[in-house]
Amino acid sequence: MDILALNCGSSSVKYQLFDWEKKEVIASGMVERVTVGGSYIIHEVPGKEDYKEEHDCPDHVVAVELIIKTLTSADVGVVKDMSQISAVGHRVVHGGEKFTQSALINDEVLQAIKDVAHLAPLHNPANIAGMEAAMRVLPEAPQVAIFDTAFHQSMPEKAYIYPVPYEWYKEHGVRRYGFHGTSHLYVSKRAAALLGKKADDVNVITLHIGNGVSFCAIQKGRSVDTSMGLTPLEGAIMGTRCGDVDPAIPAFMMGRLGCTPKEMDSLLNKKSGILGVTGQYTDRRDVTEHAEKGDKRCQLAMEIEAYRIKKYIGSYITAIGCADAIVFTAGVGEMGAEIRQLALEGLECLGIYVDTDVNMSTRTRKKEVEITTPDSPVKAFVIPTNEELVFVEDVVAILNGTYCDHMEYPYTFASTEYVKG
């Protein structure tokens, strides 16, 4: 059984083709810079040299078509034709309250995803484009939606209800949903395994830091709070999103600028965050490079990001009572040693003692690394996420009729014997 996992982000499409019987990745890769120009695909096949091809991808449909073309290529492909694919798993950012777990995609499910697309304007449209493209190319293969919001359905009301008129929740679904659920699920279970414990015996704070950023407080294996809210706009400072701001600011600036609600939404989602502070950068590598060269606004952007990480770590420790570990993951979390260092410095009062030499030398998308000292009461890990493996295991479980609550389902990566490929 070969499963294709597609993860369509705001400016990228990650993919992984997985042989379930052999429990191995046949091929994986990513189309970068989708919709922003200069796009290209990096295609990786175990045991072979990586393949890179520049190819303009003005939208996600073209990006998915490029992936399919590459997978079936006579030169670098791994399957003769797409009929070898048994099923496709798709990341879907927002499921609203309708979806509390992964689901087979049909017309009703697809429409429901479209109905809440306005709550995740940078992602749900991309997810939908990927689903529709895959359904056209693989009409016979089951398609499964894996929702970012599902992992956070364990949050208590005190965490997900906003202090606004309660009718907004009952009539319009206004509440905290949370996102990056598959990533938080994966790395929290890996952290438990690295600690030699079961997931329900561990309290973890997971920090998913990429272009999009979300933090999660996990108590005894379950999400009890998370930084993103009704939409992915709330919470930490992100590549182009503002995160937490005074809620009066949008109305105030709409009056000053004379812009519409739609234009303000775009400003907060696409022109704020790291880009808003620096004036020109979203990639943390660019920010770090120019900060080191003396760019004051880049230095400020790094300080703001690290400061907000510190505040969330502190607040989430109080929410879960104690913490066994802090986990950094996703592109910046895995590669941004400077951001990790700034965020963890000064947290010795919370039992976190960063090993500066280890942390600053750790930039990896493959290796799991402890970046605190051996005597640190609270451990800090860099754990490369593998959302695609969660997709694959959910798809297989649904096809086999064994799918159940994530605390009960025996994910392979939750085992202490699991070795990341």
Three-state DSSP at 195 gives coil
* Catalytic residue (one of 2, 56, 81, 148): 148
The conformation of residue 346, written as its DSSP 8-state character, comes to T
Strands 24-32, 379-382: pairing kind? unpaired
Helix (H) or strand (E) run with residue 147 in it = strand 143-147
Three-state DSSP at 26 gives strand
294 conformational bin, left if phi > 0, alpha if psi -120 to 50, beta if neither:
left
Residue ranges of alpha helices (H) inside 219-295 are: 249-257, 261-270, 273-278, 284-292
Helix (H) or strand (E) run with residue 331 in it = helix 330-335
148 is known as an active-site residue: yes
**Token pair in block for residue 14:** 């990650």
* Spatial CA neighbour of 17 closest among 27, 7, 6: 27
The conformation of residue 83, written as its DSSP 8-state character, comes to G
Residue 47 to residue 44: CA distance in whole angstroms: 9
Residue 49 to residue 218: CA distance in whole angstroms: 39
The total number of residues written for the chain in this structure: 421
The 10 Å CB-count burial string (b at 16+, else e) for 55-86 is: eebeebbbbbbbbbebbbeeebbbbeebebbb
Strand order in the sheet with 85-92: 51-54, 40-44, 24-32, 13-19, 2-8, 85-92, 143-147, 103-104
SS3 track for 40-77: EEEEECCCCCCEEEECCCCCHHHHHHHHHHHHCCCCCC
The conformation of residue 354, written as its DSSP 8-state character, comes to B
Residue ranges of alpha helices (H) inside 177-283 are: 181-194, 249-257, 261-270, 273-278
The 10 Å CB-count burial string (b at 16+, else e) for 382-414 is: bbbbbbbbbbbbbbbbbbeeebeebeeeebebb
Residue 331 to residue 108: CA distance in whole angstroms: 34
Positions marked catalytic: 148
